Amino acid sequence: MAALKVLVGVKRVIDFAVKVRVAPGGAAVQSQGVKHAKPFCEIALEEAVRLRERGAAASVLAVSVGTAACQETLRAALALGADRAVLVQLREGEGPPGPREVAAALGAVVAKEKPQLVILGKQAIDDDCNQTGQILAAMLDWPQATFASHVELEPGSVRVQREVDGGLETLRLRLPALVTADLRLNEPRYATLPNIMKAKKKPLEVVEWAGLGLAPPLPRLRVLGLEEPPARGGGERVDDVTTLVDKLRQCGRI
């Protein structure tokens, strides 16, 4: 088996199918007791695991940046096939970090772990950010391929087919390199009960943000308050178009 190490970034995000609720106090959304999932991270992890299963990679390291709650996300990644996990932990009240801060934290882990390939999801689903991979590649001065739909490791390089507006583009990158995963790269597997139990024994290292020598993350945005939209009222039937126009005028719609 090759000695190549793959690092995968995973993010703790509320599942897109969950109805978002405002937490008591109106300062944040309700995140306790709800499902968390990020499709693009799961696809990136699945591709790394497949590379290891094909013998093209030796190990898969999952990395997350966030609070202690991210340990649950990393345990899920271990159940899906990652060999080890590292959490760059923020103190409660710190952050949330932006793409540049997350890239800096991942870069510090890359410098320590020295993987030959980094795979990230192409974008987040909570704020639609798609910059972290590009910023990290620039910080590391590594070649990068975004929106990958096919990845194949070759001796000393990685061959990536990526989706572009005009069709498909194939790139060959010299290792070490960074790749961001698109939706059509693969179909993630489900975690089986035996693998969930095995994940509890796999190593999960917690590293404090300050321990990496990074400046405290400064949030780009400050949330002043959150409130749920008003309940939708019932509809009203009208007899003809004239009445409908009158109603719309009364409501200020026209």
Which residues on neighbouring strands pair with residue 184, listed in sequence order?
none
What is the pTM (predicted TM-score) of this model? 0.81
Is 170 within 8 Å of 152 (Cβ atoms)?
Answer: no
Q: How far apart are CA 230 and CA 246, in angstroms?
A: 24
Residue 195 has pLDDT above 80, yes or no: yes
Whole-number Å distance between alpha carbons of 40 and 123: 7
Tokens for 1, please give them. 């088996």
Average pLDDT over residues 1-20: 76
Q: How many domains does the chain have?
A: 1
Burial class of residue 157, CB neighbours in 10 A (0-12, 13-18, 19+): middle
- Amino acid letter for position 167: G
Number of neighbours of residue 155 by Cβ within 10 angstroms: 6
Tell me the per-residue pLDDT of 69-82, one tens digit each, with 9 for 90 and over: 889 999 999 999 99
Residue 24 has a CB neighbour count (10 Å cut-off) of: 8
Give the pLDDT band of residue 68 (cuts 50, 70, 90). confident
Distance CA(254)–CA(246), nearest Å, equals 9
Domain residue limits at 14? 5-250
pLDDT tens for residues 87-112?
A: 999 876 666 778 888 999 999 999 99
CATH number (domain holding residue 64): 3.40.50.620
What is the C-alpha separation between 41 and 44, in angstroms, rounded?
5
